Amino acid sequence: MPPFLPYGRQAVDDADVEATAAVLRSDWLTCGPEVEAFEREFAAAVGATHAVAVNSATAALHLAMVVAGVGPGSRVVTSPITFLASANAAAFVGATPDFADIDPVSATLDPAALAATWRPDTRAVVAVDYAGQSADLPALAAVARARGAVVIEDACHGVGGAFVHDERPWKLGGHPWADLTTFSFHPVKTMTTGEGGMLVTDDPEYARRARLLRSHGMERDPARLVGLGGAETGPWVYEMQELGWNYRITDLQCALGRSQLRRLPAFVARRREIVARYDDAFADLPWLQRPGLRSEADRPHISWHLYTVRLDFGALGRSRADVMAELRAAGVGSQVLYIPVHLQPWYRRTYGYAVGKCPRAEAFYAEALSLPLYPALTDADTDRVIAAVRALGPA
């Protein structure tokens, strides 16, 4: 029996193992030189001035809200087709998470829907780069900045990707249309640190406060110490300047991240190859809609975290659960990404959101299914996925 093909998985090799083993043999396991090196290298890779490594992308999103001054009395608009954290981060700081509908082609936040959803208390927009394809960041920024709001790019799906604007490619995290960008290094993402995330920005004050808050708000820089009521000064002195959190990441994780970062171009290239094979193989299926592109110019620059198709379950004559079971029986995993966040019970109870708020997102969810996509998939594996999907339809 051929091995089961999950919808996503990490790609760890001997170089990754040796990188983490070297840290285990060193004097530092956490908060050491690997963290600082990973931040420098990642910032350079995405074209940002500052990078702050943290223990999860959720932590990065939370810190982005805090340093941008989002809090009680503020409204934060994001896409409903995303993981819970994109919206939850607003609730963490006492703001109101809200949702605007998606562009039906790319499944990213629609700028026109954002403008229509806008309220006077809206202070931030979280633009999610769904499946690795960027949201229309220039258009979203035009809506938000004209109204005095901050733009946070949730590029958790988009490590290593870019988009084209004015005939020029712009790296996710390295362009002028987001004030802060967050990335995820969860094992199913394009590269991994086991768990972990990164906040990048060109604003030095945002970066300084994010670093402070990721470690309990403790300041150690002698130039910034305000004095502890006549206490001694010395290398051991720290001062808690703000109420922060333990969002620190370890040297072990960052050594893995540095090793993975060196292979990121190869990871992305293989994902693009697999997407191209899928696109060609599914082009003639009337009951399957392939992932759409906002712009054909973006195609060679998308990093493709997910390959999410839309299936006409009515035409197939069975439910999504039935289809997923059929694929699993053929050794092919699949996943539903995502249930619209505004339909989650807590959001319904807390904010009164209901079916019909974002109809395009709800329609997308009803048909969405993500197929296996990760660099270790061989051409033979990809052919197995293609055969299993094609077998769903009429003979």
189: annotated active-site residue: yes
Q: What is the DSSP letter of 297?
A: G
Can you read off the two tokens belonging to residue 162?
């870019």
Distances (CA, A) of 41 to 10, 60, 105, 388: 21, 18, 34, 40
Which backbone phi and psi does 76 adopt, to 5 degrees?
Answer: -125, 125
Q: Tokens for 149, please give them.
A: 């709001």
Chain centroid to Cα 203, Å, comes to 20
Going by C-alpha positions, the residue among 265, 266, 272, 282 that lies closest to residue 383 is 282
Q: Residue 381 contacts by C-beta under 8 Å, 6 or more apart in sequence?
A: 5, 372
Helix (H, G, I), strand (E, B) or coil at 164: strand
CA 295, 298, 299, 302 dihedral sign is negative
The one catalytic residue in 186, 189, 270, 301 is 189
Task: Retrieve residue 165's tokens.
Answer: 């604007």
**Any idea which residues carry the catalytic annotation?**
189
